[in-house]
Amino acid sequence: MRFPLKRLEEGKWHWERALYVCSPPPQVRLPDLFTTIKIASFKMAMMAMCMPILPGKKAMWLQMMEQVKQDPNFAGSREAAGVHERSFLQETPHGDFVILTFEGDDPVAGFGQIMANMPPEFAAFAKEVHGLDASAPPPPMPTLVFDSRA
Protein backbone atom coordinates (compact mmCIF):
# COMPACT_ATOMS: atom_id res chain seq x y z
CA MET A 1 0.00 0.00 0.00
CA ARG A 2 1.36 3.43 -0.93
CA PHE A 3 0.87 6.51 1.22
CA PRO A 4 1.67 10.05 0.13
CA LEU A 5 4.73 11.30 2.00
CA LYS A 6 4.55 14.62 3.80
CA ARG A 7 7.50 16.56 5.16
CA LEU A 8 7.34 16.49 8.94
CA GLU A 9 9.42 18.07 11.68
CA GLU A 10 11.88 15.77 13.40
CA GLY A 11 10.40 14.06 16.43
CA LYS A 12 6.76 14.80 15.53
CA TRP A 13 3.97 12.27 15.19
CA HIS A 14 1.99 12.22 11.98
CA TRP A 15 -1.30 10.98 13.43
CA GLU A 16 -3.09 10.23 10.16
CA ARG A 17 -0.51 7.66 9.14
CA ALA A 18 0.93 6.93 12.60
CA LEU A 19 4.53 7.49 11.57
CA TYR A 20 7.26 8.87 13.78
CA VAL A 21 9.91 10.69 11.82
CA CYS A 22 13.52 10.49 13.02
CA SER A 23 16.51 12.38 11.74
CA PRO A 24 18.48 10.26 9.23
CA PRO A 25 22.28 10.39 9.15
CA PRO A 26 23.63 13.01 6.69
CA GLN A 27 24.91 10.49 4.10
CA VAL A 28 21.88 8.18 4.19
CA ARG A 29 20.96 6.11 1.14
CA LEU A 30 17.28 5.91 0.17
CA PRO A 31 16.82 2.26 1.24
CA ASP A 32 18.39 3.10 4.63
CA LEU A 33 15.92 5.95 5.10
CA PHE A 34 13.14 3.47 5.79
CA THR A 35 15.04 2.11 8.79
CA THR A 36 14.71 5.55 10.41
CA ILE A 37 10.90 5.48 10.29
CA LYS A 38 9.27 3.71 13.20
CA ILE A 39 5.73 2.41 12.75
CA ALA A 40 3.51 3.00 15.78
CA SER A 41 0.42 0.97 16.47
CA PHE A 42 -2.41 2.51 18.43
CA LYS A 43 -6.19 2.72 18.47
CA MET A 44 -7.99 6.04 18.60
CA ALA A 45 -11.48 6.05 20.13
CA MET A 46 -14.27 7.21 17.84
CA MET A 47 -17.88 8.25 18.27
CA ALA A 48 -20.43 9.00 15.55
CA MET A 49 -23.83 10.61 15.89
CA CYS A 50 -26.60 11.83 13.66
CA MET A 51 -28.66 15.01 14.05
CA PRO A 52 -31.59 16.11 11.96
CA ILE A 53 -31.47 19.26 9.90
CA LEU A 54 -34.95 20.64 10.45
CA PRO A 55 -37.15 21.22 7.37
CA GLY A 56 -36.17 24.36 5.46
CA LYS A 57 -32.88 24.79 7.38
CA LYS A 58 -30.39 23.07 5.05
CA ALA A 59 -29.29 26.33 3.38
CA MET A 60 -28.66 27.85 6.82
CA TRP A 61 -26.65 24.77 7.85
CA LEU A 62 -24.56 24.88 4.65
CA GLN A 63 -23.88 28.59 5.16
CA MET A 64 -22.73 27.95 8.73
CA MET A 65 -20.45 25.13 7.57
CA GLU A 66 -18.78 27.53 5.13
CA GLN A 67 -18.24 29.99 7.99
CA VAL A 68 -16.78 27.45 10.42
CA LYS A 69 -14.39 26.11 7.77
CA GLN A 70 -12.88 29.61 7.62
CA ASP A 71 -12.75 30.12 11.40
CA PRO A 72 -9.60 28.71 13.06
CA ASN A 73 -11.25 29.20 16.49
CA PHE A 74 -13.92 26.64 15.60
CA ALA A 75 -11.37 23.94 14.76
CA GLY A 76 -9.32 25.09 17.75
CA SER A 77 -12.26 24.46 20.07
CA ARG A 78 -12.33 20.84 18.88
CA GLU A 79 -8.58 20.50 19.43
CA ALA A 80 -8.99 21.98 22.92
CA ALA A 81 -11.66 19.34 23.59
CA GLY A 82 -9.22 16.64 22.47
CA VAL A 83 -11.19 15.52 19.41
CA HIS A 84 -10.99 15.55 15.63
CA GLU A 85 -14.49 16.29 14.32
CA ARG A 86 -15.84 15.54 10.86
CA SER A 87 -19.30 16.55 9.61
CA PHE A 88 -21.14 14.82 6.77
CA LEU A 89 -24.37 15.89 5.08
CA GLN A 90 -26.75 12.97 4.51
CA GLU A 91 -29.65 13.84 2.22
CA THR A 92 -32.58 11.42 2.24
CA PRO A 93 -36.12 11.42 0.85
CA HIS A 94 -37.34 11.79 4.44
CA GLY A 95 -35.16 14.77 5.39
CA ASP A 96 -31.57 15.85 5.74
CA PHE A 97 -29.19 14.88 8.53
CA VAL A 98 -25.71 15.78 9.68
CA ILE A 99 -23.50 12.85 10.64
CA LEU A 100 -20.79 13.88 13.11
CA THR A 101 -17.73 11.85 13.98
CA PHE A 102 -15.42 12.57 16.89
CA GLU A 103 -12.03 10.88 17.27
CA GLY A 104 -9.76 11.24 20.28
CA ASP A 105 -8.73 9.68 23.55
CA ASP A 106 -12.23 10.25 25.01
CA PRO A 107 -14.68 11.49 22.36
CA VAL A 108 -17.68 11.40 24.74
CA ALA A 109 -15.91 13.74 27.18
CA GLY A 110 -14.76 15.87 24.23
CA PHE A 111 -18.34 16.20 22.98
CA GLY A 112 -19.42 17.18 26.51
CA GLN A 113 -16.72 19.87 26.61
CA ILE A 114 -17.83 21.19 23.21
CA MET A 115 -21.43 21.40 24.43
CA ALA A 116 -20.41 23.10 27.69
CA ASN A 117 -18.25 25.71 25.93
CA MET A 118 -20.50 26.38 22.93
CA PRO A 119 -20.63 30.11 22.06
CA PRO A 120 -24.15 31.59 22.49
CA GLU A 121 -24.51 32.38 18.77
CA PHE A 122 -23.65 28.79 17.80
CA ALA A 123 -25.99 27.46 20.50
CA ALA A 124 -28.82 29.53 18.96
CA PHE A 125 -27.91 28.15 15.53
CA ALA A 126 -27.94 24.54 16.85
CA LYS A 127 -31.38 25.07 18.39
CA GLU A 128 -32.82 26.62 15.22
CA VAL A 129 -31.29 24.18 12.72
CA HIS A 130 -31.14 20.93 14.71
CA GLY A 131 -33.59 21.48 17.57
CA LEU A 132 -30.66 20.90 19.96
CA ASP A 133 -30.87 22.86 23.22
CA ALA A 134 -27.28 23.30 24.41
CA SER A 135 -28.50 24.34 27.88
CA ALA A 136 -30.42 21.07 28.37
CA PRO A 137 -28.83 17.79 29.42
CA PRO A 138 -26.94 16.23 26.48
CA PRO A 139 -28.76 13.78 24.24
CA PRO A 140 -28.13 10.06 24.79
CA MET A 141 -24.79 9.02 23.36
CA PRO A 142 -24.80 6.55 20.47
CA THR A 143 -24.21 2.85 21.04
CA LEU A 144 -21.78 0.90 18.88
CA VAL A 145 -23.62 -2.17 17.59
CA PHE A 146 -21.17 -3.47 14.95
CA ASP A 147 -17.43 -3.19 14.34
CA SER A 148 -16.02 -5.12 11.38
CA ARG A 149 -12.56 -5.20 13.00
CA ALA A 150 -13.62 -6.20 16.51
Domain ranges of the chain: 6-42, 45-130
Of the candidates 89, 91, 102, the one whose C-alpha atom is nearest the C-alpha of residue 46 is: 102
| Structural contact between residues 77 and 117, judged by C-beta atoms closer than 8 angstroms | yes
| Structural contact between residues 102 and 46, judged by C-beta atoms closer than 8 angstroms | yes
Output DSSP code: residue 11. Answer: T
Residue spans of the chain under pLDDT 70: 1-43
| Structural contact between residues 14 and 89, judged by C-beta atoms closer than 8 angstroms | no
- If phi > 0 it is left, if psi is from -120 to 50 it is alpha, else beta; for residue 126 that is alpha
Order across the sheet with 83-92: list the strands: 45-53, 95-104, 83-92
pLDDT at 150: 82
pLDDT tens-digit series, residues 106-146: 999 999 999 999 999 999 999 999 999 988 887 788 999 99
Instruction: State if pTM tops 0.85.
Output: no
How far, in whole angstroms, is CA 14 from its chain's centroid?
Answer: 15
Q: Tell me the fold of 45-130.
A: Alpha-Beta Plaits (3.30.70)
Output DSSP code: residue 125. Answer: H
Distance CA 125, CA 64 (A): 9
pLDDT at 73: 93
